[in-house]
Structure 1
Amino acid sequence: MASALKTVDKFTVTFLVDNCIEWMTKLPPGFTHELRVHLGEHNPPIDPLTGIPFVDFENYCCGAHGFSALIETQVGGSDPQYTLFDTGPESRSIARNVAAMQIPTHKIGRIILSHWHSDHSGGILSFLRIRSQSEHAGSTPPCVVDVHPSRPIARGIAPQGNVIARHPPDPTPEQMREAGAVVELHKEGHAVADGTVWVSGEIPRVTEFEGGLPSSVRWLEKEDSKGEWVKEEHLMDERYAAVNVAGKGLILFSACSHAGIVNVVKDAVATFARPIYMIIGGLHLAGTEFVPRIEPTVDFLANRLRPAPTYVLPMHCSGFAVKIALEKALGEGCVPAGVGHKVEVDGDWEAEKAMFPPSIE
């Protein structure tokens, strides 16, 4: 099945929802700040007094606790494939940011949901409504929503075993269909977007120090209909996405890394025998309970994985401490990405011919 993943000539990602907004930091080649996108591509309003474009804050992106990334992949001279990886936490941030970045929603053929947590699923229905209202909606096929079949009734937050809150309910498949989507349920790994994006199956838990999410609980119904909260450290519905760029290697999307980013990388290397070029998304190493995992995670990425990833973009739930540690270990290879950023990677077929499989020491 993994052989179905095509090698792409061009990859672009636009971050539509993230916790952080970062305008000032120097970015590597191929990375573009939101402000430059607006001023250079979006026909900004012009100040009649000075003749200079306005910084139009009213119509720029907002931050939110969640994640969403628009993936564009292209092979040869074919049309780009547009895939949305997660949709953020609620209806407003995805709507505002799609409008701000002038996203052609009718071209997005598939939403991949990384896992059933509302900070990733909460914008699905809003996005589907926006897409259905596009002037091109009537001439394009319905959007596919690609989800794991194990949708929880409810998930909660229980530090030290005390349930203090629950996540808002994820949209149901019925609600998605009512909003015009085609819902696909997948437990196994599979290629989508004309074979240019891989959606993983269950991520093997093989790394000793990556123990899941200790504070996670799931509501289970019982025969007496009363139900109860049960511990659920390992969120087995979590999936990652991968794109293989010619001459560069794999670009991995791990929205929250509840499975552990080391487990994600190990599975990708075992599945594709390709170097890891870029790691994108939440590493879920924020908070005191995850501090012991930071050092071995950074050591793996910087020293044990060979070749080391060219770029790591710790976003969403990664936490400040691991960003500092990754910057110390990887230098400019740790990129402070945020909402509104755009990243473009061009393939290199000459380098592709000379590429060797990665190894883990």
Structure 2
Amino acid sequence: MTNRTATHLLPVDALTVDVITDNVSDTYVSKTLFAVSEFTNVVNAGAGVISGETLLAANLGYGLLLRTKRDDTEHTLLFDAGPEGAIFLRNVKNLGLDLGSVEAIAVSHGHWDHMGALPEAIAAICEHNGSPTVHVNSGMFNERGVLLKSGAVIPVANVPTPAQMEALGGRVVNEDGERLLLDGHFYYSGEIPRVSSFEKGRTDHLSRPGPNDQWRPDPFLMDERMLVVHVRDLGLIVFSACSHAGIVNVCTQVQALFPGLPIHAVMGGLHLGGVMETLIPETVEGLRPFDIGHIITGHCTGWRALHALAEAYGESVSQSAIGTTYTFAADPPGVAKPD
């Protein structure tokens, strides 16, 4: 595809987002008007009692089920899956979600907490609906490690390879460039340019091609991708699962790709916890020019960043949590219009 790929993204009438995997379980957290809580969702899925068994399990990672509708056409895409297959499948079951409707999987980047559950997800989808297309890029399959303060390197779990995913029934598209998915309902990016003055990645991230190679610094994680949906009459919904690129860089690229369209919502992890907390003030101010309607933080954002964003932007900021459903539409069901 050419660099004009983004211009062919079609506006959809509605987008529904189910949070299958996230770090936080908090059904009591205040919700936006277009969100439905975990309690409500599990009851609607058939739970006769609220209990540990009928609720969802949080774990370190991210995974969303995205459903779009445009006129009479509907599409379903899985964006990441999370770190561990059994919990992913448990959460799907308790939410009453239909994996058989999943046509494609888009992977944000090659880290275990986003790809570890893919084997079970692909196998479950194939049981009900043929072979899902799995969108990845070649940079996702290096081995990864973390440099500890002691100077030691601890490897992290390898992600499933294209061959392994194909053996399970997935049809893998392993390309580095941007692309449109599912009749132009989704934009899956290429590399995200690193242009801001302060988003310089993490010096403790390392990678290597294979187990016999030397570890090398990998602060930028250039394999990371974002996903964008254009909802008619609202604007762009931007999914940045971990924001290793830096969320200001992500929004800068979105603005360049889709000039004139507002960013209605940014959803995902902003990777501003721990050693990244020093970037919080610059990130908060760096987001101001984009006039984002809703910032829905999850996964690796960190509580200090969430508090700083809420202090700066008020009710436009909210906490993601597992089991929550978000509906983006000009007239979402169940939301009363103001008089």
Q: What is the TM-score of this pair, normalised by structure 1?
A: 0.87
Once superposed, what is the RMSD of the aligned Cα atoms? 1.5
Q: Which residue of 2 aligns with 1:351?
A: none
What is the aligned counterpart of 2:289 among 304, 307, 311?
A: 304
* 2:45/2:94 contact within 8 Å kept: no
Q: Distance in 2 between matches of 1:261 and 1:228?
A: 30
* 1:220/1:230 contact within 8 Å kept: no
* 2:148/2:154 contact within 8 Å kept: no
2:217 equivalent to 1:231: yes
Q: Distance in 1 between matches of 2:28 and 2:102?
A: 30
Q: How many Å apart are 1:291 and its aligned residue?
A: 2.1
**% identical equivalent positions:** 30
2:182 equivalent to 1:199: no
Q: Distance in 2 between matches of 1:58 and 1:226?
A: 43
What is the aligned counterpart of 1:65 among 60, 66, 81?
A: 60
Q: Distance in 1 between matches of 2:299 and 2:30?
A: 20
TM-superposition CA deviations, 1:41-61 (whole Å, max 9, x none)? 22332xxxxxxxx21431221
Q: Distance in 2 between matches of 1:76 and 1:161?
A: 57
The one-letter amino acid of 1:236's match is: M
The one-letter amino acid of 1:97's match is: N
Q: How many Å apart are 1:146 and its aligned residue?
A: 0.5
* 2:133/2:173 contact within 8 Å kept: yes
Q: Which residue of 2 aligns with 1:75?
A: 70
Aligned residue pairs, count: 326
The one-letter amino acid of 2:124's match is: I
* 2:225/2:240 contact within 8 Å kept: yes
* 1:254/1:280 contact within 8 Å kept: yes
Q: How many Å apart are 1:150 and its aligned residue?
A: 2.0
2:174 equivalent to 1:185: yes
* 2:42/2:54 contact within 8 Å kept: no
Q: Distance in 2 between matches of 1:153 and 1:205?
A: 21
What is the aligned counterpart of 1:148 among 137, 149, 170?
A: 137
> Which structure has the larger Rg?
1
Q: Which residue of 2 aligns with 1:354?
A: none
Q: Distance in 2 between matches of 1:37 and 1:96?
A: 14
Q: Please show how residues 1-361 of structure 1 align to structure 2 within 5 Å.
A: 1-39=5-43, 41-45=44-48, 54-78=49-73, 80-133=74-127, 137=128, 140-160=129-149, 162-221=151-210, 226-273=212-259, 274-287=261-274, 289-301=275-287, 303-305=288-290, 308-347=291-330
* 1:22/1:336 contact within 8 Å kept: no
Q: What is the TM-score of this pair, normalised by structure 2?
A: 0.93
Structure 1's consecutive aligned runs of 4 or more residues displaced over 3 angstroms after TM superposition are: none
Report the secondary structure of 2:82's partner residue.
coil
The one-letter amino acid of 1:86's match is: D
Q: How many Å apart are 1:87 and its aligned residue?
A: 0.7
Q: Distance in 2 between matches of 1:108 and 1:131?
A: 7
Q: Distance in 1 between matches of 2:277 and 2:50?
A: 39
The one-letter amino acid of 1:277's match is: H
* 1:152/1:218 contact within 8 Å kept: no
Q: Distance in 2 between matches of 1:155 and 1:316?
A: 19
Alignment CA distance shift 1:131-1:147 (3 Å): same
